[in-house]
Amino acid sequence: MFRDSLEAGARAVAAHFDHVLSDAADLPVLHAMRYATTGGKGLRGWLVLEGARLHDVAPERALWPACAIEAIHAYSLVHDDLPCMDDDDLRRGLPTVHRKWDEATAVLAGDALQALGFEMVADPRCHPDPLVRADLTLSLARAAGARGMVLGQALDMAAERADAPLDLQQITALQAGKTGALIAWSAEAGARLAHADLAPLTAYAERLGLAFQIADDILDVEGDAETVGKAVGKDAGRGKATFVSLLGLEGAKARATSLVTEACDALSPYGHRADALREAARFVISRRN
């Protein structure tokens, strides 16, 4: 049932993308933008839609921030996959943007997707109250920038060049930026749209983001490339510290499980209305890709 809801959300977000980009110029960069936003799980967009539903925000509104966060997430993947970054050929089971087109198109498509993300949360159709739009923009810029996602990526890059592998505290800080910041924004967006208290969703998202990254590290060890849709076994091959290398495989699984329990507990103010978000948290650590 959660999977159905996730797929329905991804379809709605994809249709909204098509709608928003329908008048854009017919150039490779546009096709690359659509390609990059297609075929993912759409977890971040779904979190926005579900958080909005929880606060009785109309789905037509919530689609704007849902699309925005998927655009920002897609841009980060396109740039991450570049030869000068992670140098990946495969993403979501398909050639990465710079492999299907070229590096210049990948750089530009990523840049345009980032701008598009901000355009969508600042659009009056996202919310009639400009205070909400400005709040969504400011929080999204912080989550995506040098104090959020880019900070996490920069810490990751510094770690790869450092002599000693990171310890648990450092890798948790790295993750909080690299994956955590956008997941937190996604989970909180519904409350922002409704001028509601962010605290329960913030607490939920912090644990969800960490569990998500631990699950990713486990998949890198246990998964096969075909199912995961991208290269696996890369971290161990590079001697890189991960939650698995630091906690052991069983330790990492136990930590992810307890984080999911904590994430679910954080939603208690919402009662059973938040069951779909609880299911999402359990899905995050049971997924195979």
The residues that touch a second copy, with contacts defined as CB under 8 A, are: 21, 24-25, 27-30, 33, 75-76, 79, 82, 84-85, 102-105, 107-108, 110-112, 114-116, 118-119, 122-124, 129-131, 133-135, 137-138, 140-142, 144-148, 150-151, 153-155, 157-158
Rounded to a whole number of angstroms, the minimum distance from the CB of residue 216 to a second copy is: 20
Rounded to a whole number of angstroms, the minimum distance from the CB of residue 226 to a second copy is: 28
Q: Which is nearer to a second copy, 132 or 274 (CB)?
A: 132
Rounded to a whole number of angstroms, the minimum distance from the CB of residue 33 to a second copy is: 7
Kindly report the backbone phi and psi dihedral angles of residue 119, in degrees, each rounded to the nearest multiple of 5, phi listed first. Answer: -60, -40
Q: Which is nearer to a second copy, 15 or 134 (CB)?
A: 134
Q: Which is nearer to a second copy, 134 or 254 (CB)?
A: 134
Burial 165-201 (b: 16+ CB within 10 A, else e): ebeeebbbebbbbbbbbbbbbbbbbbbbbbebebebb
Q: Which is nearer to a second copy, 118 or 283 (CB)?
A: 118
Rounded to a whole number of angstroms, the minimum distance from the CB of residue 201 to a second copy is: 21
Q: How many CA atoms lie within 13 A of 154 on its CB side?
A: 8
Residue closest to 45 by CA, chosen among 108, 117, 97, 109:
117
Rounded to a whole number of angstroms, the minimum distance from the CB of residue 190 to a second copy is: 19
Angle at which helices 43-54 and 2-21 cross, to 10°? 100
Three-point CA angle 195, 201, 204, nearest 5°? 175
Q: Enter the tokens of residue 236.
A: 């161990």
Residue closest to 78 by CA, chosen among 129, 40, 23:
40
